[in-house]
Homo-oligomer: A and B are copies of this chain.
Amino acid sequence: MRVGVLGGGQLGRMLGLAGIPLGIRFRFLDPGPDAPARQVGEWIRGGYGKLEALETFVSGLDLVTWEFENVPVETAQTLRDRVAVRPNPVALERAQDRKVEKQLFRSLGIPTASFRTVDSREELLRAGADLGFPAVLKTRRMGYDGKGQRLLQSARDVDGAWAELQGSPLILEAFVPFRRELSIVGARGKDGKVVFYPLVENRHRSGILVRTEAPAPQVPSALEELAQSYLRRLMGEMEYVGVLALELFHVGDDLFANEMAPRVHNSGHWTQDGALTSQFENHIRAVTGLPLGPTDPEGVTIMVNTIGRVPSPAAVLRLPGTHLHLYDKVPRPGRKLGHVNVRGATRADARERARAVEELLGDLEGHQ
C-alpha cells in the first residue's frame, strides 16, 4: 500500500518510521526547503495549492493523510475526488479557525474559555471590557508554537497587541487560570472503534511545548473519563479516522478545551518508547483500516523537546533511560529539532532521569 502524506516535517518522518514495518510505502508533499520525512519516502517538493505538484503527488497513491493541520482544506477536498483522504477533511476546517473550533467545542458541551472575535481596535476594546483581563489575543488562523498570540494583562496592553497582530482575523480569549496543562491523544478506526492514551501533563516555555509527563500525575478516574468523553464527542461528530489530540486546561475539577490538533501531536511523542503502540503507528493503522493497537503505558515516560540546538547524541545516550529522536532539521532558535524520551519504572525514577536530560539540554540552550 502506498500512502501519501501532506507535509513532510518531523511528524511525517515519524509516521513513515512507524508505517514502513507494516509494509507501507510513503510519499510526502512538502514545499521544503528541507523535509525531515525525505529519509523515509519519496518527497514531492511543492506547495499544497499547486495543481501540478498535487497531480504528481496523488498519482498511484492508495490513500492520503496529513501531518500538518494548516494544509488548505480545498487541497484535501480536491484530492478526495481521486483517492481516500483520512481523517475527514472537515477536521482541518474546524481546527484551522479558532472561532469555528471553539464553536464546535461548545456545541458538543465541551467547556472553553470565553471569547470574542475581533476585527477592529474598537472591537478589541469592547471585547476586553466584556471578558476582563488578563486575556489573550490570538490570530484565528495559522498560529502554532505560541506564534500569533499576545497576553494582555490590562487594557493598557491593547494598543501594543493590536499593532502587532492587526491585519489578520483575531479572537480575544479570557485567560483561563489553570492549575496545569493537560492533553489527551486518541485514535478512531474506520470501524468507529476508539482508543485513548492516558492524559499527560505538558509544560510550555514561550508558547512551545518543552516537556510532557506521561501519564499525568494525580489524575482521578473521573478526570480521565471526562477527557475521553470530550475526545470521543469530537471524533464522533467529525466522523474522524486517525489520531486526534486535544489540549486542555485543568481548572479546579474541570477541563477547558484549549485547542485540538487533527493529527499526531507533540504531546504524544512519548508513546514511541512508553506505550505498547505509538501514536504514529496507531494513526497509520487507523487510516489504512487496520485494527488499532493497545495504548497501555509502560512505566512513566517523560518527553523533553530539544529546541534551537541539537544536543550531542553521545551525551544524551549516556544518560540512563534515554531514547533519542532527531529530526535532521537545520537548527534555528525556537525550532523543534528533536526530542528525548526518558522512561523510568516509577515516577520518581522518570523524573530524576528527565532532570538529567533537561540539565544537559538547558546547558545547550543557555538562558533562552
Contacts and interface: CB of A to CB of B under 8 A. Distances in A.
Contacts of A238: none
The count of identical subunits is 2
Given A21-B324, A40-B39, A310-B23, A317 B290 contact: yes
A289 B314 contact: yes
Interface residues of A, number: 30
A23 B330 CA distance: 12
A65 to B, nearest CB: 17
A192 interface: no
Given A290-B317, A291-B314, A291-B317, A21 B17 contact: yes
A298 interface: yes
Interface in A278-312: 285, 289-291, 293-294, 298, 310
A22 interface: yes
B289 A22 contact: no
Interface in A6-63: 13, 17, 20-23, 25-26, 39-41
A326 interface: yes
Contacts of A294: 320
A324 B318 CA distance: 30
B314 A22 contact: no
A328 interface: yes
Q: Chain A interface secondary structure, helix, strand, loop or mixed? A: mixed
A13 B23 CA distance: 11
Nearest to A273: B276
A217 interface: no
A313 interface: yes
A100 B276 CA distance: 43
B17 A328 contact: no
B291 A318 contact: yes
Task: Pick the 5 closest A-B CB pairs, nearest first.
Answer: A23-B326, A21-B325, A291-B318, A291-B317, A20-B39
19 contacts: A20-B39, A20-B40, A20-B328, A21-B323, A22-B326, A23-B324, A23-B326, A23-B328, A25-B39, A25-B328, A26-B39, A39-B40, A39-B41, A40-B40, A285-B317, A289-B314, A291-B314, A291-B317, A291-B318
